[in-house]
Amino acid sequence: MRDADGAERALLAFLESNAEISNSEAFARDLGVDHELLAGTIKSLHGFGFIEAKDVRRESWELTEEGLVYSRNGSPEVQVFDAVPAGGISREDLQRKLDDSVFSIGFRKAMSNKWLETKPLVSRKVLKVEDVVKQQLLDIKDGKNLSAADIDALKKRKLIVPKVWKAYSITKGANYAPTRTKAATEVTREMLLKETWSEVAFKPYNFQALGQPTEGGHLHPLLKVRTKFRQIFLEMGFEEMPTNNFVESSFWNFDALFQPQQHPARDSHDTFFLKSPCKTQTFPEDYLERVKTIHEQGGFGSIGYMYDWKREEAEKNVLRTHTTAVSSRMLYKLAQDGFVPKRYFSIDRVFRNEAVDRTHLAEFHQIEGLICDKGLTLGDLIGVLNDFFSRLGMKKLRFKPAYNPYTEPSMEIFRQVYPLYGSSALLTLISCCNSYHEQLNKWVEVGNSGMFRPEMLLPMGLPDDVSVIAWGLSLERPTMILYGIDNIRDLFGHKVDLKLIKSNPICRLGM
Ligand code: PHE
């Protein structure tokens, strides 16, 4: 057996005294090397112009599994013939002596060959038979040629299948030399010191080579989509709110938002409470008093909730359940600093004590936008939502009355799904991936919105002609739709395949 170098030397040496190698396959066999290995050498020599190589296609035959068995054990018809004793045998006894398939195939063949008769015992009609089929199969194995009729018969019996051989015919190439010295791939220190570099043959640069993949940092799809949403908000003149506090007091998360203390969302089934530190104790006391009053007895024309508001409830620390907690802090601050019109947004993580399934995790990201100005109306909210969502490629929205403790009126935002309609990736992917994809003209919810209640804004100290319009949506849902992920655990958490992080494509919204 020769290795690739040996094969290369033999090939070049052969061409030195011969005009051609007509079949590389036969040449490989004579050399005692695998043809695959020689083919590699041929391609490389061809690439450097040492040889010319032309494809030679040859069809030959190969034994099937069944053919291989018969080439060893004999054809079934001969096996059956051999199993019949001189005095004859009952069909049942004969069958018992043989494999089922050998008996059923072989008996039929032996009968049609007129080797056997069945009157009444199975007995031989001829003295001796020759196993022609076995011999033919052995011949095929040795690469010998058979007549067309024989090939046809074996093919019909599924004992052989065609096999295409790809080989080469080889002649000297333009750069032929009886030996090849491997081209150098880089200048070494040695070459520079000994000044041999000018005589060395270098391998030409391959400018088409793809190069190594860069192994730097990789952005998670959620971060990419977040960047795009951030860009849309910035283009619309919004400022980002500081969202770096995952831990929040119930006061800012719920009470400031006029969410009553017995509201089901404040139950431990829905909210994660902190054990340590379990309480927040510093609040703007005057504001806290006003919040207490609005809950207990109302004010500014509201009758409030008419219950005993407890400070202990407001002090309980939670993992914030929505980014609206940040909005409430920011609006309070705006009122203290002196009102000016503002457009705020945030995109960050929130936590809910929910059962985890393919669409829910106990933590996710919310996208929230709000505009605070004098004289805003529901029409402004609808207008800004149309602007915002059209930048995501969703041009036609519908709104449905909804309920949030802190907004009135409140609207769920819906968009229409057309299967494979439009050029927006988001639109198209929503159409393909959501569970309503088979229905035409289905409206799906894409967000929640509303105007913050006066019971929330007035205790903060905002002027009474100031309104705040706001909306929120999740970051995960559009990300999953964009990236074709249907199980949220494949997107976020410890089960995420790192390959997703390394190879996810760039994100474009609203194209
Ligand atoms: N905070 C709401 C939620 O968690 C979203 C929302 C934001 C609704 C702003 C109205 C206004 O679903």
pLDDT tens, 225-249?
Answer: 999 999 999 999 999 999 999 999 9
Residue 477 pLDDT exceeds 80: yes
**H and E: helices and strands count for the chain:** 20, 14
Residues of 154-171 as b/e, b for ≥16 C-beta within 10 angstroms?
A: beebebbeeeeeebbebe
Could you give the percent of the chain with pLDDT greater than 70? 95
Determine the atom of ligand 1 nearest the C-alpha atom of 449: 10
Q: What is the CA radius of gyration of the chain?
A: 41
Determine the atom of ligand 1 nearest the C-alpha atom of 350: 4
Residue nearest to atom 9 of ligand 1 (CA): 471
Between residues 116 and 165, the one the model is more confident about: 116
CA of 473 to the centre of ligand 1 (A): 7
Average pLDDT value for residue range 288-292: 98
Spell out the domains of the chain, with CATH numbers in brackets.
4-63+161-187 (3.30.1370.240), 222-502 (3.30.930.10)
pLDDT at 441: 67
Lowest mean pLDDT among 97-101, 286-290, 392-396: 392-396
Average pLDDT value for residue range 437-464: 86
Nearest to 417 by CA among 442, 435, 446: 442
Are 472 and 413 spatial neighbours (Cβ–Cβ below 8 Å)?
no
Q: pTM of the full predicted structure?
A: 0.61
CA of 156 to the centre of ligand 1 (A): 72
What proportions of the chain, in percent to the nearest 5, are helix, strand and coil? 40, 20, 40
Ligand 1 proximity of 348 Cβ (cutoff 6 Å): no
Q: pLDDT band for 1, please (50, 70, 90 cuts).
A: low
Residue 31 pLDDT exceeds 60: yes
Residue given tokens 């076995």 in the structure block:
134
C-alpha torsion sign, points 496, 497, 501, 503: negative
Ligand 1 proximity of 450 Cβ (cutoff 6 Å): yes
Task: Write the CB contacts of 332 (distance below 8 Å, at least 6 apart in sequence).
Answer: 256, 284, 287, 460, 461
- Structure tokens belonging to residue 86: 């001189």
Ligand 1 proximity of 368 Cβ (cutoff 6 Å): yes
CA of 272 to the centre of ligand 1 (A): 18
CA of 138 to the centre of ligand 1 (A): 79
Number of Cβ within 10 Å of residue 140's Cβ equals 22
Helix (H) or strand (E) holding 481, with range, is helix 476-483
Determine the atom of ligand 1 nearest the C-alpha atom of 322: 4
Lowest mean pLDDT among 50-64, 308-322, 396-410: 50-64
Lowest mean pLDDT among 71-85, 111-125, 243-257: 111-125
The preferred substitution site among 259, 322, 380 for testing ligand 1, maximizing ligand atoms within 8 Å of CB, is: 322
Between residues 217 and 418, the one the model is more confident about: 217
Ligand 1 proximity of 404 Cβ (cutoff 6 Å): yes
Residue nearest to atom 6 of ligand 1 (CA): 472
Task: State the chain's mean pLDDT as an integer.
Answer: 90
Residue nearest to atom 10 of ligand 1 (CA): 449
Are 224 and 504 spatial neighbours (Cβ–Cβ below 8 Å)?
yes
Residue 252 pLDDT exceeds 80: yes
pLDDT at 57: 82
Between residues 70 and 429, the one the model is more confident about: 70
pLDDT at 75: 96
- Which amino acid, residue 421? Y
CA of 15 to the centre of ligand 1 (A): 81
CA of 75 to the centre of ligand 1 (A): 80
Nearest to 57 by CA among 103, 24, 30: 24
- Structure tokens belonging to residue 448: 């929640």
The preferred substitution site among 238, 448, 468, 476 for testing ligand 1, maximizing ligand atoms within 8 Å of CB, is: 448
- Which amino acid, residue 176? Y
Q: pLDDT band for 17, please (50, 70, 90 cuts).
A: very high
pLDDT at 261: 97
Torsion of CA 426, 432, 437, 440, to 10 degrees: 60
Residue nearest to atom 5 of ligand 1 (CA): 472
Quote the CA–CA distance of 346 and 370 in Å, as a whole number: 9
- Structure tokens belonging to residue 194: 């000994």
Q: What is the pLDDT of residues 415-448, one digit of tens each?
A: 877 654 433 445 444 444 343 333 456 888 999 9
Residue given tokens 């309980």 in the structure block:
316
CA of 304 to the centre of ligand 1 (A): 21
Residue nearest to atom 4 of ligand 1 (CA): 322
Ligand 1 proximity of 322 Cβ (cutoff 6 Å): yes
Ligand 1 proximity of 79 Cβ (cutoff 6 Å): no
- Structure tokens belonging to residue 371: 């505009």
Q: How, if at all, do strands 51-63 and 116-118 pair?
A: unpaired
Ligand 1 proximity of 470 Cβ (cutoff 6 Å): yes
Average pLDDT value for residue range 173-192: 90
Quote the CA–CA distance of 182 and 196 in Å, as a whole number: 15
Average pLDDT value for residue range 360-388: 96
pLDDT at 511: 67
Quote the CA–CA distance of 499 and 482 in Å, as a whole number: 17
Report which listed range, 48-52, 339-343, 485-489, is most confident.
339-343
Determine the atom of ligand 1 nearest the C-alpha atom of 366: 4
Residues of 486-508 as b/e, b for ≥16 C-beta within 10 angstroms?
A: eebbebbeeeeeeeeeeebeebe
- Structure tokens belonging to residue 475: 């970051």
CA of 484 to the centre of ligand 1 (A): 26
Are 429 and 484 spatial neighbours (Cβ–Cβ below 8 Å)?
yes
- Which amino acid, residue 440? L
Q: Mutual orientation of helices 76-83 and 100-112 as an angle, nearest 10°?
A: 90
Q: pLDDT band for 475, please (50, 70, 90 cuts).
A: very high
Helix (H) or strand (E) holding 373, with range, is strand 363-374
pLDDT at 173: 93
Quote the CA–CA distance of 445 and 303 in Å, as a whole number: 32
Ligand 1 proximity of 471 Cβ (cutoff 6 Å): yes
Residue 72 phi, psi (nearest 5): -90, -50
Quote the CA–CA distance of 324 and 339 in Å, as a whole number: 19
Average pLDDT value for residue range 12-37: 92
Number of Cβ within 10 Å of residue 55's Cβ equals 9
- Structure tokens belonging to residue 423: 């050029």
